[in-house]
């Protein structure tokens, strides 16, 4: 069985960088998900979810981090690279990981409704594809998950408040 080239400390260090990316998304009211790509101990790609701002369905954190790494390296191949992401990847991002041949994937929180690395299936370790990635889950899981829980709680409260305001507006008519 393959063992990651990174130490436990390195994994936490890089996941904190992915969390920093997630916080950039939160600041602009996007679902807080962040990702980075690492090669030889250096961050070569960064990305955070900007789907609402960009109105582009493909602007997930992982996809943007992969594109950034491709641009920095001048190559679509990321064969010796690691990807850190705060949430379990969706099918599109799992696919992008396979297409760019990323070697190792580390994620924080599970996505039971849409994750395709552990939750619904494992696209990254299906030997019928021409690439497979090493996967490790649960890196700073609580911190990664809490970001999402807090975001959706705030969103619900904001919506409730808006509803209340619109009802009281109507009562004035």
Supply the residues annotated as catalytic.
62
Contact segment (CB under 8 A) with a second copy among 6-14, 29-37, 72-80, 162-170 equals 72-80
Secondary structure (3-state) at 111:
coil
Residue 56 found at the interface with a second copy (CB under 8 A):
yes
Among 36, 96, 105, 148, binds a second copy (CB under 8 A): 96
Give the residue numbers of the binding site: 60, 90, 93
Instruction: Answer whether 137's CB lies under 8 Å from 118's CB.
Output: yes
Cβ closer to a second copy: 48 or 67? 67
Among 72, 69, 138, 130, smallest CA distance to 101 is for 130
Q: What stretch of H or E contains 168? A: helix 141-172
Q: Where do the DSSP E strands lie in the chain?
A: 34-39, 42-48, 82-87, 104-109, 134-136
Distance CA(140)–CA(46), nearest Å, equals 18
Residue 29 found at the interface with a second copy (CB under 8 A):
no
Residue 152 found at the interface with a second copy (CB under 8 A):
no
Binding residue count for a second copy, defined by CB under 8 A:
40
Contact residues for a second copy, defined by CB under 8 A: 51-52, 54-58, 60, 63, 66-67, 70-71, 73-78, 90-96, 98-101, 113-114, 116, 120-121, 123, 126, 128-130
């Amino acid at each position: 069985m393959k063992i990651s080239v990174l130490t436990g400390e390195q994994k936490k260090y890089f996941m904190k960088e992915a969390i920093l990316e997630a916080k950039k998304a939160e600041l602009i009211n996007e679902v807080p998900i962040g990702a980075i790509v690492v090669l030889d101990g250096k961050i070569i790609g960064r990305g955070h979810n900007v789907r609402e701002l960009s109105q582009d369905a493909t602007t997930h954190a992982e996809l943007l981090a992969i594109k950034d790494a491709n641009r920095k390296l001048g190559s679509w191949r990321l064969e010796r690279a690691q990807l850190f992401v705060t949430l379990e990847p969706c099918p599109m991002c799992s696919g992008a990981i396979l297409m760019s041949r990323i070697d190792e994937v580390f994620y924080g929180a599970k996505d039971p409704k849409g994750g395709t690395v552990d939750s619904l299936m494992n696209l990254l370790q299906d030997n019928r594809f021409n690439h497979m990635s090493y996967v490790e889950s649960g890196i700073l899981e609580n911190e990664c998950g809490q970001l999402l829980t807090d975001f959706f709680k705030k969103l619900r409260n904001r919506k409730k408040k808006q509803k209340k305001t619109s009802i009281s507006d109507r009562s004035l008519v």
